[in-house]
């Protein structure tokens, strides 16, 4: 479950190509010689998908072994390249976050961008590494996971409580036997004590 690349683009009106505003990719698992071509591939496919995503829409496209998710919000488009196992919902919530963050940090300056900007945006790179685990991106997933863990722990607790119950039952048996025995002992002693007149 990994993210290969995250891109932020300005999705221009349909006629022109979108302009890349920020780009972060993780190509470490490709061989050295393939890295640059993979980067270019990412750029190109990202541009294509972004140009074909209408505003205020989300889209997911399957391309070879990657799923490309795109979210276009009023001209600012975030594109993510994930593999097939990455849950779609987490992907989109991640893209949401990225767009929000971008708007917070860059305001509206991106609207005037005319060509690809080559400045790296550290947040994007951090996001790429942090969100390799889909639970981070999607709070719902995280909550669900924690709840499941809690449930497992509770099950174990209930099992141990049941074992405790069994032990308590056996203890109760033994203690009642003990009290019976001590009562017999007392009666016997009293009996022996009462008839002592003879000898």
Partner 1 sequence: MQARRGQSSYRDRTDEFFGIVETLRRSTAPDAANNVPYGGGGGGRREDPRSAVANQSEFKKRAAVIGLAINQTSQKLSKLAQLAKRSSVFDDPTREIQELTAVIKQEISSLNSALIDLQAVRNSHNDERTISRDTTTHSATVVDDLKNRLMDTTKEFKDVLTLRTENMKIHEIRRQRFTSNPSKESTNPFVRQRPLASKPAATQPAPLPWASSSSSSSSSSQLVPRRQGEAESSPLLQQSQQQQQQQQQMVPLQDTYMESRAEALHNVESTIHELSNIFTQLATMVSQQGEIAIRIDQNMEDTLANVEGAQSQLARYLNSISSNRWLMIKIFFVLIAFLMVFLFFVA
Q: Does 65 bind partner 1 (CB under 8 A)?
A: no
Q: How far apart are the first and last CA of the chain?
A: 95
State the minimum distance, in angstroms, from the CB of residue 55 to partner 1: 11
111, 130, 156, 164: which one binds partner 1 (CB under 8 A): 164
State the minimum distance, in angstroms, from the CB of residue 108 to partner 1: 25
State the minimum distance, in angstroms, from the CB of residue 135 to partner 1: 12
Q: Which residues contact 17 (CB under 8 A, 6 or more apart)?
A: 47, 51
Answer yes or no: are the C-beta atoms of 137 and 94 closer than 8 Å.
yes
Answer yes or no: are the C-beta atoms of 89 and 110 closer than 8 Å.
no
Residue 48 parent element (H or E): helix 35-51
* Binding to partner 1 in span 91-150, by CB under 8 A: 92, 140-141, 143-144, 147-148, 150
Output Rg (C-alpha) for the chain, integer angstroms: 34
How buried is 13 (Cβ within 10 angstroms: 0-12 exposed, 13-18 middle, 19+ buried)?
Answer: exposed
105 vs 150, beta carbon nearer partner 1: 150
3-state secondary structure of 69: strand
Q: Does 37 bind partner 1 (CB under 8 A)?
A: no
24 vs 45, beta carbon nearer partner 1: 45
Stretch that binds partner 1, among 20-28, 32-40, 107-115, 168-176 (CB under 8 A): 168-176
Q: Which residues contact 136 (CB under 8 A, 6 or more apart)?
A: 130, 142
Rounded Cα–Cα distance for residues 71 and 8 (Å):
10
Q: Does 162 bind partner 1 (CB under 8 A)?
A: yes
Q: Does 185 bind partner 1 (CB under 8 A)?
A: yes
State the residues that interact with partner 1 by CB under 8 A.
14-15, 45, 48-49, 51-52, 54, 57-64, 67-68, 88-89, 92, 140-141, 143-144, 147-148, 150-151, 154-155, 157-158, 161-162, 164-165, 168-169, 171-172, 175-176, 178-179, 181-183, 185-186, 188-190, 192-193, 196, 199
């Amino acid at each position: 479950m990994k993210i290969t690349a995250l891109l932020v683009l300005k999705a221009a009106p349909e006629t022109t190509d979108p302009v890349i505003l920020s780009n972060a990719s993780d190509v470490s698992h490709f061989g050295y010689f393939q890295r640059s071509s993979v980067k270019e591939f990412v750029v190109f496919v990202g541009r294509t998908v972004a140009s074909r995503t209408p505003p205020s829409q989300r889209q997911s496209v399957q391309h070879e072994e990657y799923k490309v998710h795109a979210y276009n919000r009023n001209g600012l488009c975030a594109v993510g390249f994930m593999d097939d196992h990455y849950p779609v919902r987490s992907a989109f919530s991640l893209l949401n976050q990225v767009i929000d963050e971008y708007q917070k940090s860059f305001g509206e300056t991106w609207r005037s961008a005319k060509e690809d900007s080559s400045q790296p945006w550290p947040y994007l790179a951090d996001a790429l590494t942090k969100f390799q685990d889909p639970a981070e991106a999607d709070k719902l997933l995280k909550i669900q996971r924690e709840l499941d863990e809690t449930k497992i722990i509770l099950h174990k607790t209930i099992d141990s409580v049941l074992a405790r119950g069994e032990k308590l039952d056996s203890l109760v048996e033994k203690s009642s036997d003990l009290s019976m025995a001590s009562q017999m002992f007392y009666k016997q002693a009293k009996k022996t004590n009462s008839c002592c007149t003879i000898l």
